């Protein structure tokens, strides 16, 4: 136990010089031992935290891989259907178009299951948060300024966040 200055002064008066030095050495040794214990405890905590951080990083990487694998697994039947449509398209163009339209619906369905939805653009007011204007065109009669008149490339949201902005032509 550490002593305050007044307690030490009282002890100095009652303890001979030799006893005082021994008490101070004992106190110093006790303080050193406590410091070593604290340092050892700190090192253990740092090692535990480092192991935790590595474990979380590995779990997150594994989770990402598994999530991607699940999406790819869902997309494989779409790829199979594309291959079938290509084979069928060699002989019959009408059936080819139907097959590709079916595959398009299947792919959109899978993307929607995963939280990917198309951005509505055609005949909507231009919104720079979700639309990317690639061209301005003269407004047609009955069309207000700053309206999307044509969608050049469809945009998509992923769980309410812009995954890709829609490329659009805007009236001026």
**pLDDT of 88 over the 80 cut:** no
CATH class of 116-172: mainly beta
Q: Are 148 and 168 in contact (CB under 8 A)?
A: yes
Q: Which of 33, 10, 13, 12 minimizes the C-alpha distance to 22?
A: 12
Q: Measure the CA–CA gap between 149 and 139, rounded to whole angstroms.
A: 8
Place of tokens 């990487």: 61
Q: Where are the domains of the chain?
A: 1-114, 116-172
Which residues on adjacent β-strands are paired with residue 118?
A: 156
CATH topology of domain 1-114: Hemagglutinin Ectodomain; Chain B (3.90.20)
* Torsion on CA atoms 34, 37, 38, 41, rounded to nearest 10: -160
Q: Are 153 and 119 in contact (CB under 8 A)?
A: no
Rounded percentage of the chain residues whose pLDDT exceeds 70: 88
Place of tokens 């494989």: 76
Residue 155 CB: number of other CB atoms within 10 A? Answer: 19
Q: At 8, is the pLDDT very low, low, confident or very high (cuts 50, 70, 90)? A: low
What is the pLDDT at residue 98?
A: 81
Q: Measure the CA–CA gap between 158 and 119, rounded to whole angstroms.
A: 10
Task: Look at the pTM and tell me if it is higher than 0.85.
Answer: no
CB under 8 A, 24+ apart: contacts of 55-61: none
What is the pLDDT at residue 86?
A: 75
Q: Measure the CA–CA gap between 101 and 81, rounded to whole angstroms.
A: 11
How deeply is 82 buried, as exposed, middle or buried, from its count of CB atoms within 10 A (0-12, 13-18, 19+)?
Answer: middle
Q: Share the mean pLDDT of the chain.
A: 85
Tokens linked to 168: 């659009």
29-63 pLDDT, tens per residue? 999 999 999 999 999 999 999 999 999 999 999 99
Using DSSP, state whether 164 is helix, strand or coil: strand
93-130 pLDDT, tens per residue? 777 778 888 888 888 888 888 889 899 999 899 999 99
What is the pLDDT at residue 1?
A: 52
Q: Are 127 and 135 in contact (CB under 8 A)?
A: no
Let me know if the fold of 1-114 is the same as that of 116-172. Answer: no
């Amino acid at each position: 136990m550490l002593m305050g200055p007044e307690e030490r002064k009282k002890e100095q008066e009652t303890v001979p010089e030799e006893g005082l030095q021994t008490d101070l050495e004992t106190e110093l040794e006790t303080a050193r031992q406590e410091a070593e214990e604290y340092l050892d405890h700190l090192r253990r905590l740092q090692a535990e935290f480092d192991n935790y951080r590595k474990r979380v990083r590995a779990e997150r990487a594994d989770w990402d891989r598994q999530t991607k694998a699940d999406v790819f697994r869902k997309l494989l039947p779409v790829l199979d259907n594309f291959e079938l449509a290509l084979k069928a398209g060699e002989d019959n163009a009408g059936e080819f178009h139907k097959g590709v339209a079916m595959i398009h619906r299947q792919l959109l369905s899978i993307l929607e299951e995963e939280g990917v939805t198309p951005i509505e653009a055609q005949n909507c007011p231009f919104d720079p948060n979700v639309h990317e204007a690639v061209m301005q065109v003269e407004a047609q009669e009955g069309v207000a300024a700053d309206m999307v008149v044509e969608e050049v490339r469809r945009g998509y949201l992923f769980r309410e966040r812009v995954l890709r902005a829609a490329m659009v032509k805007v009236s001026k």
